[in-house]
Amino acid sequence: MSLSDADRELVTAEFGREPTAAEAALFENLWSEHCAYRSSRPLLSAFDSEGDQVVVGPGDDAAVLALPTPEAADAPAAERDADDYGDTYVTFGVESHNHPSFVDPFDGAATGVGGIVRDTMSMGAYPIGLLDSLYFGGFDRERSRYLFEGVVEGISHYGNCIGVPTVGGSVAFHGGYEGNPLVNVACVGVTNEDRLVTATAQEPGNKLVLVGNGTGRDGLGGASFASEDLAEDAETEDRPAVQVGDPYAEKRLIECNEALIDEGLVLSARDLGAAGLGGASSELVAKGGLGARIDLDRVHQREPKMNATEILLAESQERMCYEVAPDDVDRVAALAERFDLGCSVIGEVTDGNYVCEFAGDAEEPEAVVDAPAEFLADGAPMNDLPSEPPSEPDRDLPDDEPPLDEAVAAVLAAPSTASKRWVYRQYDHEVGTRTAVKPGDDAALLAIRETEGEEESAAAADGVGLALASGANPKWTAVAPYEGARAVALENATNLAATGAVPLAAVDCLNGGNPEKPDVYGAFEGIVDGLADACSALDTPVVGGNVSLYNDSVEGPIPPTPTLAVLGTRRGYDAPPAALDAERAGDSELLLVGAGGDALGGSEYLAHTGGSDRFPTLPDDSGAADDLDGLVASLAAAARHESTLAAHDVSEGGLAVALAELVTDDAGVDATLPDRVAAFDETPGRLLVQTTDPGAVAAAAGDLPVFRIGDVTTDGTLSLSVGGESVSLSADAVRDHRDVIERELA
């Protein structure tokens, strides 16, 4: 860790002296790209983050949202007013743990889960669901498989041990992640107005109490490590920067946090993540316009002879910093002891500077940090970086296309398109008894009962279904950063619509390469603007997020990757399945709701065949919908209609893959499409709907185009005719193609 010359000059000018070694290290971490968003913050004002549903927006550990009442849960946010929201709040946040997961995939991914769960806890919420969006190099590469297996194992181990279900997410494979995988994890929690806590310190004289695991030397300088390109020797040289998790301690911390909140003992809170104790405590008091005096010798430690910088900046896991009234300190300590957690009263809130004292082996302590808290937390200057706009791809489709059966098989078996059952079967996705729609469908659906903590009522309609989806498509954003990011937002919203839900809010994890490269920064600008514009068109506030830059390695920069996690609501939690109903085959039809974009840019089909194309035209550009929020509301209404038997969105792999995914052993599809663009175009904003009343579904879809796509059969076969060619695949054959990941890793 070393403070840059330019930053050192700023600090020296502010102090009128040279910074101490501990101060220099603290500034280097808090002013790093990972913590200060020096290259991205100037762009983030593009996002809309306000709405009647937003209780706490960007800037805290997690956003807080008011859920609509069951009666208002189906209505788009634009049609609700403040009176339509009830007393139940949910928290929503997302984090990245990219660099650590390359160095140590198990611990890197596991501690990413732990961190986002503690962000949830620090708002006074109980964590109820996790989503993970994962990105790796080519699945045929041994290194990629090693990272993939380690990351999934780390997520499953930590999540399963703490009893928080992993209910959804995404996995993508792309050559651009060969030297730098991405691990983005989102968490949703539940709370209410009485239990709500923020990270804003309240009053001088209150105590700062550290609760949780002992502080060690693991994760030292993790924030600065995450703000630089990965070197060739990162696996060995940067191992000390990776935290080591203890999920059983986290579980005890979750329950202790609940007890502290129940008794009203917490005035403000911050979890210890990036920049460790120094980051959490300085940011806590800075948000309140206050200061602190901290005695580093009081911090409970698990390693001997730690110096001030190590205590201040180690990112040891499973630790929380609480602001507590002086009279409540003993009760906090008693609860920590009940849950077998360490507890230290490390200092107090003041109205002065942020001061840390340390004695170590010396007879008298000395001030190793003495700085204005707001200067530490918010004083980093922003970067003004040059950018180059990305070039538009030409339309150059392959002249010699493979036979249809080969093309369909290749797209079905592509690792990014294939079944992710190998991943989610390792996760406990039902703990907590809320999971109404499990992983494997378009979106997860969690049950929020009308009266939390009581027995579920007999009618599922008496509660609110909380729909969750997350992910990004690197093939889309590599071809067209702006258009691809807009498509990512629409795709995640369409996933919610397939369950009958409409968006409530979103959080984003913006991943890019080295922003000092103009072409990389230009592509990053594109994904920010594309995501912001689409979320505005969806009337979906972006209420929080994370930025991860410098995802570069000796292999080159990653594709610009705008992971979006979207949360939506519907009345009840009885969603249509993403599989055909064989028993109603004779009296039902299969409809396509929504229009394609008539292009193959960014598609899995072109990834297999070669060639290039423009990115598909999205519905709001083509005149197929006046606005994206109206489009998604219409799709959700079609999915919720009482005649709907099944609903499934069209995305990666296009209609060919979406139709295949609907097939079961008992129910098949006989469909005809005009050409390969229609078969493999990946335009989002479309649903396949099996219905017993096509006219009623078309009416529910409003102005969206509705096409009869084919017949539902009882032979369990995908029969597809495209431009005069035909392919027929049994349900077993479809599964065989789609189970490539499970088969290869068994």
What is the mean pLDDT of each successive set of 10 residues along the chain, which is 746 residues long?
86 95 94 92 95 96 96 93 95 94 92 95 97 96 95 95 95 94 96 96 98 88 55 53 84 98 97 93 97 97 93 94 98 98 98 96 92 95 93 87 96 96 91 85 88 46 89 97 97 98 98 96 97 96 95 91 98 92 91 94 95 90 69 96 97 96 95 96 97 96 94 94 95 96 91
301 closest CA partner among 382, 218, 370, 231? 218
Q: List domains and CATH numbers for the chain.
A: 576-746 (3.90.650.10)
Between the alpha carbon of residue 163 and those of residues 102, 106, 247, 322, the distances in Å are 26, 18, 10, 23
DSSP tally for the chain: helices H, then strands E: 26, 28
Q: Assess contact for 565 and 493: CB atoms under 8 A.
A: no
| CB atoms inside a 10 Å sphere around CB 54 | 18
Tokens 């060919």 identify what position? 656
pLDDT computed for residue 458 by the predictor: 43
Tokens 């390469």 identify what position? 513
Q: What 3-state class would DSSP assign to 523? A: helix
Name 725's bridge partners: 722
Exposed/middle/buried for residue 325 (C-beta within 10 Å: 0-12, 13-18, 19+): middle
pTM for the structure as a whole: 0.94
Q: How far apart are CA 504 and CA 541, in angstroms?
A: 8
Taking CA 70 as the corner, what is the angle to CA 66 and CA 74, rounded to the nearest 5 degrees? 90
Q: Assess contact for 210 and 299: CB atoms under 8 A.
A: yes
Residue 321: its H or E element: strand 319-324
Q: How far apart are CA 317 and CA 273, in angstroms?
A: 7
444 closest CA partner among 425, 455, 430? 430
Q: Where are the alpha helices (DSSP H) in 220-370?
A: 222-225, 234-237, 247-262, 276-287, 308-313, 329-338
Residues near 131 by Cβ (< 8 Å), separated by ≥ 6? 166, 167, 168, 169, 185, 186, 187, 188, 444, 468, 469, 470, 565
Q: Interhelix angle for 105-121 vs 247-262, to 10°?
A: 0
Q: Assess contact for 297 and 358: CB atoms under 8 A.
A: yes
Q: How far apart are CA 568 and CA 575, in angstroms?
A: 13
Q: How far apart are CA 740 and CA 745, in angstroms?
A: 9
Q: Assess contact for 447 and 460: CB atoms under 8 A.
A: yes
Q: How far apart are CA 664 and CA 661, in angstroms?
A: 8
Name 570's bridge partners: 465
184 closest CA partner among 264, 97, 101? 97
Q: What is the length of the chain?
A: 746
Paired sense of beta strands 291-295 and 354-358, if any: parallel
Q: Assess contact for 63 and 91: CB atoms under 8 A.
A: yes
* Tokens coding 704: 């969206």
Residues recognised as catalytic: 34, 97
* Tokens coding 719: 């029969």
115 closest CA partner among 67, 178, 184, 66? 184
Q: Assess contact for 559 and 474: CB atoms under 8 A.
A: yes
* Tokens coding 230: 């990965």
Q: Assess contact for 480 and 392: CB atoms under 8 A.
A: yes
Residues near 366 by Cβ (< 8 Å), separated by ≥ 6? 357, 358, 359
pLDDT computed for residue 456 by the predictor: 45
Q: Where are the alpha helices (DSSP H) in 83-221?
A: 98-103, 105-121, 142-162
Tokens 């799709």 identify what position? 635
Residues near 733 by Cβ (< 8 Å), separated by ≥ 6? none
* Sheet with 725-730, side-by-side order of all strands: 644-649, 687-691, 589-593, 706-713, 668-673, 717-722, 725-730
Q: Interhelix angle for 654-662 vs 731-738, to 10°?
A: 120
| CB atoms inside a 10 Å sphere around CB 60 | 21
Q: Assess contact for 481 and 526: CB atoms under 8 A.
A: yes
Q: Assess contact for 603 and 407: CB atoms under 8 A.
A: no
* Tokens coding 367: 């001030």
Q: How far apart are CA 160 and CA 165, in angstroms?
A: 7
| φ and ψ at residue 55, rounded to 5 degrees | -90, -45
Q: How far apart are CA 229 and CA 29, in angstroms?
A: 15
* Sheet with 444-448, side-by-side order of all strands: 435-437, 444-448, 464-471, 561-571, 502-511, 542-548
Paired sense of beta strands 542-548 and 502-511, if any: parallel
